[in-house]
Amino acid sequence: MIADSWIADSAALSWNVADDLRQMFAFPFMVNAFRAGTIVAILAAVIGWFMIVRRQTFAGHTLALVGFPGAAGASLVGVSTQFGYFGFCTVAAIAIGAVPRVASQSYGEESAFIGTLQAFALACGFLFVSLYGGNLSGTTSLLFGTFFGITDSQVMVLLGVACVAIALVGLGARPLLFASIDPDVAAARGVPTRWLSIGFLALLGITAAEVSQVTGSLLVFALLVLPPATAQRVSARPSTSLLVGVVIALLVTWIGLAAAFFSPYPSGFWITTLAFGGYIAAVLVARRR
C-alpha cells in the first residue's frame, strides 16, 4: 500500500504516450511487473480455457485459495513463499484428482470433497497467520496480490513453470479436449481419461499457484476465468477462442498495470474490473446476436 501511494504521488499521466511509457519503464519493478504479468496472463488464459470446458471452475477456485495457507505456512517456517504456493496447490490438485468421478452422482462426491478442502485450507491459512503472531508481513498481498514486488529470480521461476505447463498442455491438447467434451466416448475410444484428469488438475494447481503470486489468492479468477470465459462467448472454435482468451488476458493485464502505476488504486482492482467489463460486454453482444 505504501508503494502504491508513492507511485500515485510520483507518476503523472500526460498526453505524451511515449513519455509516459518511458517514465513507467524507468523503474525496474515495473519492468518485472510487466514480465511477470505477461507470463501469468498467457498461462492463466490457456489453462483456464480448458478448465471452463471441463467445468472445473470450483476446483480452480479452491486451488487458488489453497495458495494462501501455503504461502502463509512457508513464511511461518522461514522459507520462500513460492515453495508454499506450488507445494500446497499441487498436493491439493492431486488430492482432488484422486476422488473418483461418478456420472450418476453428478460429481456430488467430488464437489463435497472440494468444498471441505477449501474450508480446511482457509482455516489453516488463518492458523498460520495467527501462529506468526498476527502480524504476518504481506498478508494483504497474499490475499489480493501485488505486481510491484516481483524480483528477477521470481520472474525466471514463473517463466520456467509456465513454459513446462504450456508445453505439456500442447502435447496432450487433442485427447484432453476430446475427454473434456465427451469423457464417456473418449474412454470408449481408449483415451486415458482418468490420468488426463489427474494430470490436468496438477497443471491447474501449478497455474493457480503461479497466478496467486501475482494476483493474490482471492483474485486469481480475474485471469484464470474471465478472459477465457469471454473468449468462449466470442468464438466457438477452440483455436480461435483460445487465442482470443490469451489476447484479452494480456490486454487487461497490461492496461491494469499501467492504470495502477498512474493512479492510487491497486493493480488487482484494475485487472479484475477490466476483465469483468470485457465479459459483460461479450455477454451483451452475444444476446443482441
| Lookup: cell for 287 | 444476446
pLDDT, residue 142, reads 67
- Residue 107 scores a pLDDT above 60: no
- What is the predicted pLDDT for the residue at 7? 52
* Model confidence pLDDT, tens digit, residues 225-261: 899 999 998 888 888 999 999 999 999 999 988 888 8
Q: How large is the average pLDDT for residues 59-84?
A: 83
* pLDDT of residue 2 exceeding 50: no
Segment among 75-89, 124-138, 203-217 with least mean pLDDT: 124-138
Please give the pLDDT value at position 251. Answer: 94
Q: What is the pLDDT of residue 197?
A: 85
Q: What percent of the chain is predicted at pLDDT more than 70?
A: 84
Region 201-206: mean pLDDT is 89
Residue with the three cell numbers 462467448: 233
Could you give the count of Cα atoms lying within 13 Å of 8 in the half-sphere of its Cβ? 12
Confidence of residue 6 (pLDDT cuts 50, 70, 90): very low
Amino acid at 37: G
What pLDDT shows up at residue 5? Answer: 46
CA dist 2 and 216 (Å) reads 17
The pLDDT, as a whole number, for residue 227 is 93
**Of 242, 232, 106, 201, residue with least CA distance to 193:** 201
pLDDT at 133: 64
DSSP class of residue 218 equals: G
Q: Please state, as a whole number, how many other Cβ atoms lie within 10 Å of the Cβ of residue 21.
A: 11
Of residues 43 and 105, more confidence is placed in: 43
pLDDT band at residue 264 under the 50/70/90 scheme: confident
- Alpha carbon 29 to its chain centroid, in Å, reads 21
Helix axes 28-53, 152-171, angle to 10 degrees: 20
| pLDDT value at residue 147 | 66
pLDDT at residue 167 greater than cutoff 80: yes
SS3 of residue 201 by DSSP = helix
Mean pLDDT score of the chain: 82
